[in-house]
Amino acid sequence: MSGAFLLTALVVCVAPGIGVVYTLSMAIRGGVRAGLLASLGCTLCTLLHLGFALAGLAAVLHTTAVVFQTVKLAGAAYLLWTAWSTLRGGGLLELRPADEVGSARRIVWRGIALNLLNPKLPLFFVAFLPQIVPAAARDTTALLAELGIVFVAMTFAVFVVYALFAATLRHAIVESPAAQRLLRGAVAASFAALGARLALERA
């Protein structure tokens, strides 16, 4: 496994995206437990996208403009709605006691839903992973699966670090209405920007 793959995968994982924003917001909203559950949901969705890619569905998404546009616009609409609900004072940053933030199932499923409508994940698997596989590889599918699992594991590890970091800021934010307003605006702007970028993404 090349260092170039590991470095590129780490950069992709660390770069702010839908999963990162969701994990940060849930950790601040409900503490370490909520952040870790959000990390799990986002990672499970990454694993699903890897499965789709290995099954060839990502290639179909990449080559079929109608399918790509439909998934892309649905995902963008969901992100914009999330941004609006957050900005209004609820949604992902409605601060609550850690034991009232929601069930584990709900947090995990929302993480899956947020990332499921993001066509960039399967496109990443289709566009990037095959470039790492040597042309002389005997079992291409097995090697792709191995690289994909490494990426998924790295994704989870990065999300956990984000969750733990955000949870440490929770008490300071809870005690500061000004910080809550600033954070709410930042998270809403992040989701709005991600939604707009997704809407403008080309297949």
Tell me the per-residue pLDDT of 119-138, one tens digit each, with 9 for 90 and over. Answer: 667 777 776 776 666 656 67
The model's pTM is: 0.71
How many CA within 13 A on the CB side of residue 11? 8
- On the question of pLDDT at 91 being above 60, the answer is no
Which among 57, 37, 187, 55 has a CA at the least distance from the CA of 112?
37
| CA-angle at 106, arms to 146 and 163, nearest 5° | 60
Confidence of residue 100 (pLDDT cuts 50, 70, 90): low
Residues 180-183: contacts with CB within 8 Å, 24+ apart? 180/93, 180/95, 183/28, 183/93
Res 108 pLDDT > 60:
yes
pLDDT greater at residue 160 or residue 17: 160
Confidence of residue 55 (pLDDT cuts 50, 70, 90): confident
Least confident of 104-118, 128-142, 143-157: 128-142
